[in-house]
């Protein structure tokens, strides 16, 4: 999960102003393209390479989901699904449906004004939109209102990347990722995913704590022109793979092994 997840919206004053600010921020992409539901079809229909990456079950002209193409995952079999007694649900979505929430709230959620101008920003052009069109996009809803977004993408044939997760501040600290992510991880592991990866700022203690609680290891550091300094975290599905990491690269205590007996891989 990158600090601003590559979308880089601005905080909005109201919905119309937010959309306009997003359009300006994303520059190269026309507002009609950003907000029109048909954009994926329009852009993808001209792209032979992406057409070949389509999976089954999507509408003609729409991009296929990478997770379906690689691992046969059809999220609509399991979603929507409730996760709390007070009715918080996970819904399958797509980038165009999630963009209004991202535009309206990511600036606040990611405290993005603090980062403005520090890093290299790319336009939300056709390639980025097509990429997100093939990603798994989920909306977290409470009483039919979107309160958060999660976006994940395969980064190779056996690796799933947690690209973005953001919850409205009022819903943070309720351990929602602690129930939602394991649900997603179980199904992805069942399809063939062998590791989950995420990047986060060293200062993002909520993310570091949440992910390490879920069994992620800190496996690296990255200096990115787009997002600054990042910790790379990896959750191994296979204990044998985690053993290689622990035994070859880690000295001292291996807490991961202490908890294997009493935790499922995705708890």
Ligand X SMILES: CC(C)(COP(=O)(O)OP(=O)(O)OC[C@H]1O[C@@H](n2cnc3c(N)ncnc32)[C@H](O)[C@@H]1OP(=O)(O)O)[C@@H](O)C(=O)NCCC(=O)NCCS
Interface with ligand X by CB under 6 A: which residues? 1, 3, 109-110, 165-167, 172-178, 200, 204, 206-207, 209-210, 213
Distances from the Cα of 11 to the Cα of 111, 114, 142, angstroms: 9, 12, 22
Residue closer to ligand X (CB basis): 80 or 228: 228
Residue closer to ligand X (CB basis): 39 or 176: 176
CA-wise closest residue to 162 among 150, 170, 145: 150
- For 168-214, the three-class secondary structure string (H helix, E strand, C coil) is CHHHCCCCCHHHHHHHHHHHHHHHCCCEEEEEECCCCHHHHHHHHHC
CA-wise closest residue to 8 among 109, 97, 155: 109
Are 193 and 71 a contacting pair, CB within 8 Å? yes
Residue closer to ligand X (CB basis): 13 or 209: 209
Residue closer to ligand X (CB basis): 92 or 165: 165
Are 64 and 55 a contacting pair, CB within 8 Å? yes
Residue closer to ligand X (CB basis): 37 or 174: 174
Beta carbon of residue 1, minimum distance to ligand X (angstroms, whole number):
3
Q: Alpha-carbon distance 103 to 145, whole Å?
A: 15
């Amino acid at each position: 999960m990158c600090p601003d997840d590559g979308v880089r919206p601005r905080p909005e004053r109201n919905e119309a102003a937010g959309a306009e600010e997003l359009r300006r921020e994303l520059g190269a992409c026309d507002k009609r393209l950003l907000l029109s539901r048909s954009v994926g079809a329009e852009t993808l229909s001209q792209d032979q390479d992406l057409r070949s990456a389509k999976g089954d079950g999507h509408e003609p002209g729409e991009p296929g989901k990478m997770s379906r193409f690689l691992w046969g995952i059809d999220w609509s079999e399991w979603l929507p699904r409730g996760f709390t007694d007070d009715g918080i649900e996970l819904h399958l979505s797509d980038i165009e449906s999630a963009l209004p929430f991202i535009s309206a709230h990511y600036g606040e959620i990611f405290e993005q004004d603090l980062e403005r101008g520090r890093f290299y920003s790319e336009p939300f052009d056709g390639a980025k939109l097509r990429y997100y069109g093939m990603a798994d996009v989920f909306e977290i809803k409470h009483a039919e209102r979107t309160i958060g977004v999660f976006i994940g993408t395969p980064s190779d044939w056996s690796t799933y990347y947690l690209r973005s997760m953001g919850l409205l501040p009022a819903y943070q600290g309720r351990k929602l990722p602690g129930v939602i992510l394991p649900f997603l991880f179980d199904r992805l592991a069942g399809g063939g995913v062998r590791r989950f990866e995420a990047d986060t700022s060293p200062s993002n203690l909520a993310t570091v704590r949440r992910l390490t609680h879920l069994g992620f290891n800190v496996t690296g550091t990255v200096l990115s022109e787009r997002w600054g300094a990042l910790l790379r975290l990896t959750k191994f599905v296979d204990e044998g793979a985690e053993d290689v990491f622990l035994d070859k690269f880690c000295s001292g205590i291996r807490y991961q092994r202490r908890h294997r007996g009493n935790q499922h891989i995705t708890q």
